[in-house]
Amino acid sequence: MNGIKKTFDKWAQNGRAELMENEHRNNVTKFFQTITFDEPFTFLDVGCGNGWVVRKIAKENNCKKSIGIDISNKMIIQAKKKRSNKKEEFFHTDIEYWDYKGKFDFIFSMESLYYADSIEVALEKIYKLLKSGGEFFCGTDFYTENKATARWANVMKIQMHLHSKKEWKEFFKNAGFQVKTKHIKDSKNKKKWKREFGTLFITGKKHKK
């Protein structure tokens, strides 16, 4: 995990956080347009980076609280500086070890879950942090079928768990979720992997009690 923290601390300082925000904004925005926020809700972003999704969701009228966590302290410092709404909160922590007493209606993660020491442990924790009937939205561009991004692990030289769409679905099912998937493509993007493969979004719904 130290290598991952160092990498993202560096990215927070060299402008890469804003680059990631710009890279993901279109597809994440398209995805959120498919979600109805018509009831009061609480929201958690796992691996929030500079906090742009937390800020975006905090603007929703029905949002009561929008929280972001990240293992990079420098990313959290950036996110706190950009805070624009009292609903926003940021914590420097790791989802696998975060000691939080509340529960959320929605949890989101974009390009972060595959860095976890154990995806199974992270999903187990996320499941516990969701209210009954709550949903977890996990977005990734790094999956086996997306041939153009599968080489990222070699380029980055840090721990990244590469899995297929089928394997991701299995992880979610094993954690107790009802699962569905959606591909969102950015048809005007210059990058082939954004245009042709797109972002894989896995949605896990916690069973209602």
Report the alpha-carbon distance of residue 81 to residue 130 in Å, rounded: 28
> pLDDT for 102-142, tens place per residue?
999 999 999 999 999 999 999 999 999 999 999 999 999 99
pTM for this entry: 0.93
8 Å CB contact between 83 and 51? yes
Structure tokens at 131: 């209210």
Residue 88 CA: distances (Å) to CA of 103, 109, 194: 16, 16, 30
Dihedral over alpha carbons 125, 142, 109, 126 (to 10 degrees): -10
Query: Half-sphere exposure of residue 105, counting CA atoms within 13 Å on the CB side?
Result: 15
Nearest CA to 79 among 138, 22, 17, 23? 17
Domain 2-13+23-31+39-205 has CATH 3.30.450.40: no
Per-domain residue ranges of the chain: 2-13+23-31+39-205
In this prediction, residue 37 carries a pLDDT of 94
Q: Is 31 helix (H, G, I), strand (E, B) or coil?
A: helix
- Point out the residues of the chain with pLDDT beneath 70: 1-2, 15-17, 19, 153, 155, 189, 192-195
Say what angle helices 119-129 and 165-174 make with each other, to 10 degrees: 50
Expressed in angstroms, the distance from the first to the final Cα of the chain is 35
